[in-house]
Structure 1
Amino acid sequence: MIVARTPLDLDELVEHWTLLKDEQGLVSGKHGATRLGFAVLLKFYTQYGRFPRGRFELPGEAVEFVAGQVPTRARTPRTPPSVRSAPSSAPSSCSATSPTPRGADG
Structure 2
Amino acid sequence: MTDQLDTTGMMLGEMKGQLRELIHNLNTMSAKIDSLTERVAGAAGLPAKVKGLEDRIMMLEADKNKRDGAIGLGSWLIRSPVIAWLAAGGVALWALSKGRL
TM-score per shorter chain, which class?
under 0.3
Identify which of structures 1 and 2 has the higher relative contact order when contacts are C-alpha pairs closer than 8 Å and 6+ apart. 1
Q: Tell me the TM-score normalized by structure 2.
A: 0.26
